[in-house]
Structure formats: C-alpha cells, structure tokens
C-alpha cells in the first residue's frame, strides 16, 4: 500500500460473526476502543456481549457490530444500538488498530460511513455519539458529518448530603403520574435551546410512562423512578433514575426551570424517603452546560465534576418530493393535521404553490419530526 486511498479501497467492512469475538475482545483489552455512548455511568453491554446479541434474530435488529479487516486480520470495529422507535441510534464503541495516523483516519472514516449507511437502511433519521472534549476522535467525527450540538458535564457524588441538608420537602414534590407526560415535555422545551431541540428531535412519546426508557434500551435493572415538582399544568422540575445493583452507579437525569433549580435537593430527599433512591450509593448526574444552575446546586451538596463531553449528531438526508416538503412544513407549524385524509385539498394547494417547476430539493429527513416550542 502506498497511500491512504489504496488502503481505504482494500479495507473490508462486514457484520461481525461469532468467530470474531476473540479479536474484538483483544482490541478492547489493548485500549484501542473508545466509548462513544454515555460513560461507564450507564450499564453499557460489553463489546463481546453486544456483538453476540447483534447476531440474534429479532433482538439483533436493534444493534449492530461491524468489523474492519485487512488480509484476514481484524483492524477495527464499530458498534451501535437503536433507541426506542429506531429513528435514533447511538454509536457505542469505535476501535481501530493502525500502523500510522493516515491509516487510522481512513479506517475510522470507513467504519463511520458504513455504520451510518446501515442504520439509515433500518430507518434511522439521526445517529448520536459523545466524546470527551479533548478526544482525538472529535476531528474525525466532525469531518464525517457529525456536528456538535451541546456540551454535557457529569457530576459524581452521593445524595446523602442533599437529603440531610433539607429538613423537609414542599407539598408540591410528588411522584410522577402518567398524565404528567405532556407537562414534562413542555418543561423540556422550555429549558432546552431551540437548536438542541432540533438536533435531538425528542417527541412526546419519549416522555410517556409506558416507554420505560432513559437515553437508550435498558439491559437489566428495576423500573425507572421519577419525581416531579409542581402541579399538573405547571411542572417546574423533573427527576428520573433507574435503581441499579453491582458496580454501576445510579444515574440521575434532571430538568428544572430557572426558579426551581435550587429545589433539586428537596426532590432528592423525597426520592430517598419514598422512591428508593440509595443515599449512600455512588451517583452520577449528567447536566447540560446551559443548565448551569442545576450544576451549581449539585456542587453545593457535595457533587463534583467528573467529565465534560461534547454531544454529536449526524442527520440522515434523502431526496423528497415537493408534496412531502409541504406536509413537513405544516406539521412543523404544529397544526397536527393528518393530511392523508385531505389529499384532494392538499394536491390543489400543492399545485398552486408549485405552479412553476423547480429542481428537486435535498431535504433533511429529520425535519419531518414535530418541532414543539
């Protein structure tokens, strides 16, 4: 091989087989693997387990492991897993063993492109990843259509100090009810910048109590617990976690309005007393940088910054018709119309709007998602 182009051409990327498990374990053990999903704060399956699951029918359709080989030698791999609904996927791990920097960049690029193409074939509208802000992989990701949309800080501590500091909690602190889904979604829209909402494209169904998911598919553990602050129609804060056992820490997710951030310790005390939050168990809370008041409140009760990460997303694009653009535009305005019931009227409107012929549009498929707020 004489240059990166020839190297890229001769690289073979294929789905992982059971016979690849030993090579995958070796790559992970030699520190060639980087975790692109949430840090060990979450119970992420091991490389070998996720690769094995990818080969199971039914279950395997929600995860993928691709292997890069050259001359029958495994050089790298990439793993991804679907979120609920399969329109969003998370890159879990990326690994590459390369003789030089040029080969390393070519191999990573090949793995990323193939994985994104495969997830798009399975209906993915967006693919997510996260990396420490000082990671060498950031440049590779941004060069291949991934863009940064937020920064996130992981704080580590225990809820004990917060629970002891608050002698009581207000009457508006309570457990979450199924009917709170819309109010939690509205709180998310109020607390989250518009560009971040567009990048994540989270919908109301993700806040439904029937979803039972956090940021991804749970592999084990008890049911998700949630606590809210406020009455129906006026929620000011929301707290979620999943009780865990073993070496994995508890992971908290928090949304809070500007005025309610200081009352997060009250919610922690309620969770300790009524919802089974372990006050002495190692706990990690992931907070977006734009939620600085939540970070400040947690630091006041003993939590310390552990890791700062950059959140990345790559959107899938596809050719669409002008009628599809019209439908997406109306839905984006929150009209909530199911236009298939009004096809004749829509076609007439389409003809008036498109009286002059135009070139096809290259349209981001993600724009079809509802854009609340």
Q: How far is CA 321 from CA 89, 110, 120, 353, in A?
A: 26, 30, 19, 13
Tens digit of each residue's pLDDT (9 = 90 or more) over 166-198? 878 889 999 999 899 999 999 999 999 999 998
User: 4-145 and 152-313: same fold?
Assistant: yes
Q: What is the pLDDT along the chain (373 residues), one digit of tens a residue?
A: 444 444 444 678 888 888 778 787 777 766 656 666 654 445 577 777 777 777 665 555 788 888 888 777 788 888 888 887 778 899 988 888 877 788 888 888 889 999 988 888 888 889 999 998 888 888 888 888 899 999 999 999 999 998 888 878 889 999 999 899 999 999 999 999 999 998 988 888 778 765 444 433 333 445 789 999 999 889 999 999 888 777 778 889 999 999 999 999 999 999 999 988 989 999 999 999 999 999 999 999 999 998 899 999 998 876 666 776 777 676 655 544 444 444 444 444 444 434 433 444 433 444 434 443 4
Rounded CA gap, 282 and 41, in Å?
Answer: 10
The CATH class for the domain spanning 152-313 reads alpha beta
Rounded CA gap, 219 and 44, in Å?
Answer: 8
Domain ranges of the chain: 4-145, 152-313, 316-368
Residue 205: CB atoms within 10 A of its CB come to 12
Rounded CA gap, 332 and 322, in Å?
Answer: 15
List the structure tokens of 105: 């960049």
Residue 14: CB atoms within 10 A of its CB come to 11
What 3-state class would DSSP assign to 142? Answer: helix
Tens digit of each residue's pLDDT (9 = 90 or more) over 314-369? 988 766 667 767 776 766 555 444 444 444 444 444 444 344 334 444 334 444 34
**CB under 8 A, 24+ apart: contacts of 82-86:** 82/119, 82/122, 82/124, 82/217, 83/213, 83/215, 83/216, 83/217, 84/205, 84/206, 84/211, 84/213, 84/217, 85/205, 86/62, 86/122, 86/123, 86/124
The pLDDT value given to residue 2: 43
User: Would you give the distance in Å from CA 317 to the centre of its chain?
Assistant: 19
Cα torsion for 25, 26, 31, 35, to the nearest 10°?
-30
Cα within 13 Å of Cα(129), Cβ side: 30
CATH of range 4-145; options 3.40.630.30, 3.30.2350.10, 3.40.190.10, 3.40.50.2300: 3.40.630.30
């Amino acid at each position: 091989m004489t240059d990166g182009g020839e190297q890229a051409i001769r690289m073979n990327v294929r789905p992982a087989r059971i016979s690849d498990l030993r090579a995958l374990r070796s790559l992970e053990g030699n520190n060639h693997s980087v975790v692109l999903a949430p840090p060990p704060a979450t119970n992420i399956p091991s490389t070998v387990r996720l690769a094995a699951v990818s080969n199971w029918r039914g279950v395997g359709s929600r995860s993928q492991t691709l292997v890069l080989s050259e001359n029958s030698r495994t050089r790298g791999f990439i793993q991804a897993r679907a979120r609920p609904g399969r329109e969003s996927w998370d890159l879990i791990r990326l690994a590459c063993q390369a003789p030089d920097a040029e080969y390393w960049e070519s191999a990573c690029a090949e793995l990323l492109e193939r994985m994104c193409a495969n997830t798009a074939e399975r209906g993915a509208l967006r693919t997510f990843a996260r990396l420490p802000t000082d990671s060498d992989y950031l440049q590779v990701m941004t060069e291949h259509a991934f863009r940064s949309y937020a920064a996130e800080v992981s704080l580590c501590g225990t809820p004990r100090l917060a629970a002891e500091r608050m002698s009581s909690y207000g009457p508006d602190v309570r457990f979450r009810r199924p009917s709170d889904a819309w109010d939690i979604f509205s709180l998310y829209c109020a607390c989250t910048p518009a560009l971040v909402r567009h990048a994540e494209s989270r919908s109301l169904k993700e806040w439904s109590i029937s979803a039972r998911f956090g940021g991804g598919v749970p592999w084990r553990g008890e049911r998700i617990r949630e606590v809210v602050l406020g009455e129906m129609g006026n929620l000011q804060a929301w707290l979620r976690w999943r009780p865990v056992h073993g070496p994995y820490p508890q992971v908290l997710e928090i949304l809070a309005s500007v005025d309610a951030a200081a009352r997060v310790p009250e919610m922690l005390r309620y969770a300790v007393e009524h919802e089974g939050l372990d006050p002495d168990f190692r706990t990690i809370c992931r907070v977006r940088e734009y939620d600085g008041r939540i970070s400040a409140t947690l630091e006041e009760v003993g939590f310390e910054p552990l890791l700062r990460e950059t959140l990345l997303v790559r959107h899938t694009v596809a050719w669409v018709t002008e009628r599809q653009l019209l439908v997406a535009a109306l839905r984006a305005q929150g009209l909530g119309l199911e236009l298939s019931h009004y096809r004749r009227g829509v076609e007439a409107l389409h003809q008036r709007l498109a009286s002059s012929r135009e070139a096809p549009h290259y349209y981001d498929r993600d724009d079809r998602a509802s854009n609340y707020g």
